[in-house]
Amino acid sequence: MSTTSDRSYTRTLTADETAERIFQALTDPDAIGSRWSAASTTGSGRTGGELAITVGTQQQPTVMRVLGAHPSDAVIWEVVASPLVPQWAGTRPTFTMTVAAGGCRLDFADHGPVPHLECFERCATDWGRSLLRLCAHARDR
């Protein structure tokens, strides 16, 4: 299920995986890089860290500041720089995990990419794919 508001894109998924594995897939640079098909991913996915993700042939990485990484509970990023989609800078992707029957409920919100921005549709499509890959990646680990 996905929804939009005038201030964010949201989506909820139920994964056949534990919150611990989802958390690991959101904080381990190697897991993030493989899920995004990144050329390189460096940095720390822990609270106070930064992740630099270089995708495709881009010379400059997308940079995420990790505002919070609370095991099996929530991961909050702030996009510092995004060469592929410059309008994404300043948004706050937030992942909240809750134990659910048979797995984990993942509530996602990307605060900031308002629907009237040019990048909104692209971001919404990309997040939908990324969240499905996140759940699959956590299951395969």
Please say whether the beta carbons of 105 and 98 come within 8 A: yes
Q: Is the pLDDT of residue 2 over 50?
A: no
Q: Is 14 helix (H, G, I), strand (E, B) or coil?
A: strand
Q: Is residue 3 part of a domain?
A: no
Quick one: tokens of 53? 């993700």
Q: Is residue 65 part of a domain?
A: yes
Q: In what order do the strands lie in the sheet with 2-4?
A: 2-4, 8-15, 103-111, 92-100, 74-81, 62-70, 50-55, 38-43
Q: Domain containing 85: what range?
A: 8-140
Q: Is residue 1 part of a domain?
A: no
Q: Is 56 helix (H, G, I), strand (E, B) or coil?
A: coil
Q: Is residue 2 part of a domain?
A: no
Q: Please tell me the pTM assigned to this model.
A: 0.84
Burial classification of residue 48, based on how many CB atoms lie within 10 Å of its CB (0-12 exposed, 13-18 middle, 19 or more buried): exposed
How far is 84 from 105, CA to CA, in rounded Å?
29
Residue 116: per-residue pLDDT: 56
Q: Is residue 35 part of a domain?
A: yes
Residue 1: per-residue pLDDT: 45
**Structure confidence by residue, pLDDT tens digits, 66-93:** 999 999 899 999 999 988 878 888 889 9
**Structure confidence by residue, pLDDT tens digits, 93-129:** 999 999 988 889 999 998 875 555 666 666 666 766 7
How far is 35 from 23, CA to CA, in rounded Å?
14
- Number of structural domains, the chain? 1
- CATH number for the domain spanning 131: value is 3.30.530.20
